[in-house]
A and B are shown apart, each in its own frame.
Chain A
């Protein structure tokens, strides 16, 4: 069965802390994505990666960075967490292009920055 696993479901961090959100997929997918979801705003793309060590900015990359050292793992990094980064973060993966293929999502990570 297809699986995208986000290591942390709920996190509470302090302002200024460095935060790592980890995501692993077991489907050998080329593409991986990080979205954030806020009420009324839907899903917004932060970063995506189409290959190991490759990354592209999405719509809202400011304040975030990513790392993809292995094909199955895609990490989202908040260099210095701020309260406006309190949100639900969703990792996803797909094979080849996302447009014509199903995207598989993880269960989400709820991050609260205090």
Chain B
């Protein structure tokens, strides 16, 4: 069962612009993670935010978490062509299982 849903499904931006994508989920979580997937490759972990955290930064990435709204956002600032990828949020259903959304496909135009 998919717990998380990303929005929008697809996003096209100009190099240098910011990209924002959102994740909504249904049940309470302990942690939420964001992953990136380049075309035809495996997923790579970007950032983990715990339920007691509201915001987290990693380089050009900024993640927010609003547990009252059951939503998270991922912001990529000053985007580059190399940021072209699909981005997934993952929420923990229990200690072993993560539930992934269908992803947001980001295209950065040169």
Contacts and interface: CB of A to CB of B under 8 A. Distances in A.
Do A and B assemble together?
yes
Interface of A: 4, 31, 35, 40-45, 48, 50, 56, 58-59, 90, 92, 96-100, 102-108, 110
Interface string B1-30: 110000000000000000000000000011
Nearest to B40: A108
Among A90, A98, A108, the one with the most B-chain Cβ atoms within 10 Å of its Cβ is: A98
B98 A105 contact: no
B96 A102 contact: no
A44 B97 CA distance: 11
Name the residue among B35, B45, B97 with the largest chain A CB count within 10 angstroms: B97
Contacts of A110: 40
Interface string B45-83: 100101000000000000000000000000000000000
B33 interface: yes
B97 A45 contact: yes
Contact of A105 (B1, B44, B94): B44
B86 to A, nearest CB: 10
A58 B1 CA distance: 9
A48 B96 contact: yes
A43 B87 CA distance: 12
B27 to A, nearest CB: 13
Contacts of B97: 45, 48, 58, 98-99
Contacts of B45: 102-104
A47 B90 CA distance: 17
